[in-house]
Amino acid sequence: MTRRIDTYASSQQELDHALLIHGIHILCQDTACILPVLLFGCLRGRIFYAVSYIILYALLRVHCGGYHASSHLGCALLYFGQYLMADFCLAIDLPWIQTLLVLLALWYLFQNVPFLHRLQPLSREEYRKNWKISLVLLSIYCLLYMIASFSDLSFANLLFFIIIYTAVLGFMQKHSRNALGSEEIE
């Protein structure tokens, strides 16, 4: 696919061409992560939960940060595996245990977001922006979780897994060799 674009875009500058190829590469990677979740959600008749998972998890993950798999295949498998666990547990009803775990995860996230990666350092301004957005999103998710706990148990469980996954991946990132402390911000 990229070779065909190469022949059509040969008159563009090298930078524009590299950006185009990079954009297509990212689009293919994202599609490889999202498509299995959508297909599985359709097969199980839970497309609403699949789309909700994709949107809500992506919003939180972009601003909170966290562990990154070492390969694109590892990333896609981890993403789909997380959704599989969430999908199969949508009907679990352990309200006190789940609420306690959500509160602990939220406490941890409020104390530590955004999780910084040595290979993707943030400026002070970017750090502050992601910190504010993360806190707002976490507050909204907490409120949605509490409301859904009384009305839509499956949606509450989906939010439960999104919050827990974010905390776990953040913990993994914070304790990895690629972790960057907030004092090391540019």
Enumerate residues 6+ apart whose C-beta is below 8 A from 160: 98, 101, 102, 145
**Total domains present in the chain:** 1
Q: What is the pLDDT of residue 49?
A: 92
pLDDT at residue 138 in the model: 93
Proportion of the chain above pLDDT 70, given as a percent: 90
Residue 165 lies in a domain: yes
Lowest mean per-residue pLDDT among 8-22, 80-94, 99-113, 116-130? 8-22
Which phi and psi angles does 62 have, rounded to 5°? -60, -40
pLDDT of residue 12: 59
For residue 113, give its domain range: 47-184
37-46 pLDDT tens trace: 999 999 999 9
Which of the two residues, 100 and 184, has the higher pLDDT score? 100
pLDDT of residue 87: 86
Return the pLDDT at 37.
Answer: 94
Predicted TM-score of the model (pTM):
0.77
- Single-letter code of the amino acid located at 17: H
Q: Is residue 31 part of a domain?
A: no
Does any domain span residue 41? no
CA triple 69-64-154, angle to 5 deg: 85
State yes or no: cis peptide before 114, omega within 30 of 0: yes
Q: Note whether residue 102 is domain-resident.
A: yes
Question: Alpha carbon of 55 to those of 58, 79, 128, 170: distances in Å?
Answer: 5, 13, 23, 18
Q: 111 in a domain, yes or no?
A: yes
Residue 35 lies in a domain: no
Q: Which of 136, 87, 78, 143 lies closest to 110 in space, CA to CA?
A: 136
Question: Is 64 part of a structural domain of the chain?
Answer: yes
Q: Nearest 5°: CA angle at 138, between 186 and 168?
A: 75
- 96 strand-pairing partners: none
Q: What is the pLDDT of residues 66-91, one digit of tens each?
A: 777 788 888 889 889 989 988 888 77
Residue 6 — very low, low, confident or very high, per pLDDT cuts 50/70/90? low
In a domain, residue 58? The reply is yes
